[in-house]
Amino acid sequence: MPSARPRPRRAPSVLVALATVACLLLASCSDDEKDAAAKKAAEREQVTRSPLTGLPVEGKVPTHPVLAVKVDNSSNSAPQVGLGSADLVAEELVEGGITRLAAFYYTDVPGNVGPVRSMRATDIGIVQPLDAVLVASGGAPPTVTRVKDAGIRTFTEGAPGYYRETGRVAPYNLFMRLQELAKTLDDSKPPAPYLPFESSPSLPKGEPATGLTAEFSPSSSSTFELREGRYVNTDSLAAADDQFVADTVLVLRVRVEDAGYQDPAGNPVPETVFDGQGEAMIFNDGRLVRGTWSKDGLASDIRLRAGGKTVTLPPGRVWIELVPADGGSVTVTK
């Protein structure tokens, strides 16, 4: 039999080149693995912080979506129920010069919330950035169509959790057992932060401010007073042990237009246009920072700037006041 042919030896330069390529490939894989690990760590960090407050989520991260409940804010609603459990509240102008609240729930879902009232087109810009579900009694046909076209899931009277409180007068007697509704929903993807929260916020020093009064119309205003470093709504319609106490009050001056229809009493329905830009006032820890807000569209996040720079907010519970730029006003208490 012929002897086995010896394998040719590779030149040293070839071996060096192969070794170099192998090292580069290993380094590339190592970098990719580091990037993937960093991405997962960032995702975990985001998941373990509430998108509504920026605070760490204690216990199990919710699997349900953010729940936005429209709550009546007239004297007929007293006492409001469930506000004390909300993560964030937004106040908006509705017809007749009064306001309505959008109360957001994610980490702490109470048993009962209400009185639940109808939706407005304004809610699109408030709710859409969080991909939240909208809990409302119903709505005028033009509004229902617009909210549906915006891709917002709504739960109106008749959905799981709704009930009528026998001790109250309609339409102020519609309430929601929110935990019951939340159990029927499943959304494994937590939303992105609603506001630019940061553990070390970039807020300028600002000016002293121990309180404020946001006037939406001649017949409707909300007053906040600084108590022990937080802002208490002194004209709240909630019970004393069920009030929303804010770490930050964020006043955004907004454009208000005619929604194009009237309510049953013949009042024109206003619509807050919650995109574009406007003046912003940030009340936090006894200080007021003046700046601007901007949103590229109804579904976009809120951005804040002050002193020519982008600013962030300290984590905590926020009350957002959508005060009309024309016809509204803000009085600051030093």
Domain ranges of the chain: 67-182, 207-333
Superfamily of domain 67-182: YerB-like (3.50.90.10)
User: Which pLDDT belongs to residue 266?
Assistant: 84
Sign of CA dihedral 102, 106, 108, 114: positive
How many residues comprise the chain?
A: 334
Q: Tell me if 67-182 shares its fold with 207-333.
A: yes
Each residue's pLDDT tens digit, 289-311: 999 999 999 999 999 999 999 99
Structure tokens at 330: 């803000």
Q: Three-state SS for 122?
A: helix
User: Which pLDDT belongs to residue 202?
Assistant: 82
The CA-atom distances, in angstroms, between 172 and each of 77, 136, 144, 283 are 6, 12, 20, 32
Residues of the chain with pLDDT under 50: 1-29, 41, 43-45
User: Which pLDDT belongs to residue 61?
Assistant: 86
User: Which pLDDT belongs to residue 262?
Assistant: 84
User: Which pLDDT belongs to residue 35?
Assistant: 62
User: Which pLDDT belongs to residue 34?
Assistant: 55
User: Which pLDDT belongs to residue 188?
Assistant: 66
- Non-local CB neighbours of 165 within 8 Å, separated by 6+ positions: 114, 115, 173, 174, 175
Beta strand extents in 15-168 (DSSP E only): 67-72, 88-93, 99-105, 133-135, 154-155, 162-164
Rounded to two decimals, the pTM is 0.84
User: Which pLDDT belongs to residue 75?
Assistant: 93
User: Which pLDDT belongs to residue 29?
Assistant: 46
Each residue's pLDDT tens digit, 236-285: 999 999 999 999 999 999 999 998 888 888 888 999 999 999 999 999 99
CATH of 207-333, one of 3.40.50.1970, 3.60.15.10, 3.50.90.10, 3.30.420.40: 3.50.90.10
Can you tell me the distance from the alpha carbon of 316 to that of 252, in angstroms, rounded to the nearest whole number?
18
- Distance from chain centroid for Cα 322: 13
Can you tell me the distance from the alpha carbon of 256 to that of 254, in angstroms, rounded to the nearest whole number?
6
